[in-house]
Amino acid sequence: MLPIFKKYREMLKSFNIDLSLYSENKLWIDRLIIRGITKEGKIEKICRLKITEELNYEYKFYSKLPKDENLETYEETYSRLETSILERERESLEILKEIVNSYHNNNYSIIIPTSMGKDSKLTEYLYNKATNIPKELIFNNTTMDSPEVYKEVKSRPEIKIITVKKSDGTNRSFYNMVKKHGLPNRTLRWCCDYFKEGGTSQYMSGRDNLLLIMGMRNEESSTRSNYDFLWKNTQWKNNTWQGLLPIRKWTELELWLYTIHNNISINQKYKMGYARVGCAIACPYYTKSTWVLDKHWYPTQFKRFHNILDEDFTKGEKWCRLNCTRKEYHINWNGGLVRKEPTEEVVEEFCKYKGFDNIKLAEQYFSKNCMCCSKSVRKKDEIAMNLKLMGREINQFKCKKCLIKDLNLSKEDWNKYIEDFKIQGCNLF
């Protein structure tokens, strides 16, 4: 549940989604459905949004719409739920007082990592309310956050901005890392390892007895649902580092109502319709609902990233690996196979790219299994070596391991062949 702020409402109006029937402090959006909460606490659906393949909005208002006067303002909802929200606050404050004091008395230093998001800000607010024990505030610079995030963090000189360093002491950059590791995706999310967990670990390296106060919540994911107040990151190598999750039980609704009621500062990205504020444009866990926001609010950065996607698609010959067209890749880059079998359009587009004079040769690059070990043969150089060394008319393929063995090649021979064939301009590669 995300409150619909004025700036996002104006964006929706530019897509002809007019919410003027309702007061500005009453609407919420949850999983692309705009909702309101009645004075009896019932959540009413108002409008369903849909994201098109071109990353635009389609919408449909529900037939039975609640009246504006029957919906609660954010403050009215807070008042109705105040008893349970204050109980949530009480528990968090008690946990903070008890555990922070205990660790501080045992010579632990206190660190609060912040992303400048709602969870981090609530955590810091509650910490300041619970205790006056000194703490360090740190911000992991992913090098790809939005201007709004950087502007806010730089306005607070007490926050230490951490940029991950390479072995030579220079700063790591997301886009330079892409050149080395390729684009992150949902199964290979190296960006968090380097820029978040890696950044924090690098900053804390050589220090013992650290208590990190973190804004993670059980509701956020199935993985986090079982976290207790005291938690350790399995990537932390120092066993004297301890995590504390004081807001782990808070729901999204409770968090927002408390934040608005207590005038805790709200990151501008939420006001633009974003559910999360970190890692602009390129996070593989974002969905099309975020990409349509990126396209609208950050057109220059959006275009830059999609130029990178275009280059990645071509160099990686993703036609064969994902069974999709170039256009389809731009809304499927963060997942796996787009479909089990390629369409006619996919094969024809790949055929034109390779400069083949017949479609049958292009078809040989899709969905092959090794005739010896049944392993999937999908890598472009693997397919090309089969066709180059065994003939373009073959209909049975071998994986790299089996082909090397059958032809009595070394790995060095294999790599040398590929390099030579590419220099020769063979269009199979």
Instruction: Assess whether 84 and 168 both reside in one domain.
Output: yes
Q: How many domains does the chain have?
A: 3
Last residue of a domain, one of 49, 72, 95: 72
CATH of the domain at 213: 3.40.50.620
Structural domain ending residue among the three candidates 269, 297, 317: 269
Report which secondary-structure segment, H or E, holds 95. Answer: helix 74-105
Q: In what order do the strands lie in the sheet with 2-3?
A: 2-3, 27-30, 33-37, 43-51, 57-61
Least confident of 234-243, 279-288, 290-299, 394-403: 394-403
pLDDT per position as a tens digit, 88-97: 999 999 999 9
Answer with the one of 42, 72, 102 that is the final residue of a domain.
72
When pLDDT is averaged across residues 31-36 and rounded to a whole number, the result is 96
**Residues 421/386, Cβ–Cβ less than 8 Å:** no
Chain segment 317-332, per-residue pLDDT in tens:
889 888 999 999 999 8
Quick one: pLDDT at residue 216? 93
- Please provide the DSSP assignment of 235-264 as one string: T---TTEEEE-TTTT--HHHHHHHHHHTT-
Are 159 and 130 spatial neighbours (Cβ–Cβ below 8 Å)? no
Q: How confident is the model at residue 191 (pLDDT cuts 50, 70, 90)?
A: confident
Single out the residue of 265, 289, 323, 278 nearest to residue 50, CA to CA. Answer: 289
Share of the chain above pLDDT 90, in %: 64
Could you tell me if residue 299 is inside a domain? no
In a domain, 301, yes or no: no
Which pTM was predicted? 0.84
10-24, 28-42, 249-263, 413-427: the lowest-pLDDT one: 413-427
Q: Is residue 108 part of a domain?
A: yes
Q: Please indicate, yes or no, whether residues 153 and 108 belong to a single structural domain of this protein.
A: yes
Does any domain span residue 372? yes
Structure letter (DSSP) for residue 31:
T
Residue 52 sits in the same domain as residue 81: no
Same domain? For 128 and 233 the reply is yes
If pLDDT is split at 50, 70 and 90, which confidence band does 340 have? confident
**Residue 33 structural domain:** 2-72
Task: Calculate the alpha carbon distances from 159 to 111, 128, 206, 274 in Å.
Answer: 11, 15, 20, 23
C-alpha 204/C-alpha 111 separation (Å) is 10
Location of structure tokens 């805790």:
264
- At 249-280, the pLDDT tens digits run 999 999 999 999 999 999 999 999 999 998 88
Residue 175 lies in a domain: yes
Same domain? For 346 and 415 the reply is yes
Spatial separation of the C-alpha atoms in residues 173 and 162, rounded to whole Å: 12
Name the DSSP letter for residue 197. I
pLDDT at 388: 82
Report if residue 279 sits inside a domain. no
Mention every residue, 6+ apart, whose C-beta is less than 8 A from residue 196: 140, 142
Q: Is residue 283, in this structure, part of any structural domain at all?
A: no
Judgement on whether residues 23 and 157 belong to the same structural domain of the protein = no
